[in-house]
Amino acid sequence: MKIACLDFEGVLVPEIWVNLAEQTNIEELRVTTRDIADYDELMRFRLDLMAKHGLSYEDLNKAAEKLEPLPGALEFLVWLRSRYQVAIISDTFYELAGPLLSKLHNPMTLCHRLTVGSDGNIIGYRLRQVDPKRHCVKAFQSLGYEIVAAGDSYNDISMLEQAENGILFQPSEKVVNDFPDFPVALNYEELKVMYTESMLSLIPI
């Protein structure tokens, strides 16, 4: 049995924090893992910015609710789920991902939790574990599964390296230059081809 592990933001949905930056005109919120590879450092930066500008969890949630999956994402996911078991492995948060996951027919998703204070402000976050994407892949492999993983950014690299096959999906030029050994899919049709080829290349279980 094979499992397809996918990143969420940048692969199936737009970047939630970038959308919040557009709605609030706070340009610094556009920074993502493509810019700051250390996710813990990135989240501290984001929460400090939100506190500085008086943004609450409700503001962030409203931004998330207005988002739609990337064009073609749902169709790709339906296609993929007919061929693989699928797991979304993301550094997003359940509190933000819910509306978008519903629009994608609620695939299995492993991500983090936000901590919201009684005043409605985000006071922290709980990461599921250190390097969670790689650990998820290792856990699936320990059960006898082979993994084909796709992601777009630096925080996906350990997942792609751990998987039997790793694919970069619409990555930045910097990510491609830093990790030239991974195949690159520029759209969902190319990603379908790579998943089809990976299925044929993996040893049947």
Which of 9, 91, 146, 152 is the catalytic position? 9
Ranking 54-58, 136-140, 150-154 by mean pLDDT, the lowest is: 54-58
More confident residue, 49 or 187: 187
Q: What is the C-alpha separation between 39 and 190, in angstroms, rounded? A: 28
Which of 7, 91, 95, 156 is the catalytic position? 7
Between helices 57-65 and 94-103, what is the axis angle to 10°? Answer: 10
Going along the chain from its start, the domains and CATH numbers come out as: 2-13+70-111+128-201 (3.40.50.1000)
Ranking 17-21, 66-70, 168-172, 180-184 by mean pLDDT, the lowest is: 17-21
Instruction: Name 116's bridge partners.
Output: 122
Closest to 155 in 3D by CA, of 138, 129, 131: 131
More confident residue, 133 or 201: 133
Average pLDDT of the segment spanning 49-77 = 89
Strand ranges in 47-204 using DSSP code E only, listed in sequence order? 85-93, 109-116, 122-126, 146-151, 165-169, 184-185
Q: Does the active-site annotation cover 7? A: yes
pLDDT digits (tens, 9 = 90+) for 100-148: 999 999 999 999 998 988 888 888 888 888 889 999 999 999 999 999 9
Q: What is the C-alpha separation between 22 and 170, in angstroms, rounded? A: 21
Q: What is the C-alpha separation between 69 and 26, in angstroms, rounded? A: 23
More confident residue, 34 or 87: 87
13-30 burial: b if 16+ Cβ within 10 Å, else e: bbbbbbbbbeebebeebe
Q: Which positions ≥6 away from 21 have C-beta within 8 Å?
A: 27, 28, 29, 30
Average pLDDT over all residues of the chain: 90
Is residue 169 within 8 A of residue 20, CB to CB? The reply is: no
What token pair was written down for 121? 């402000």
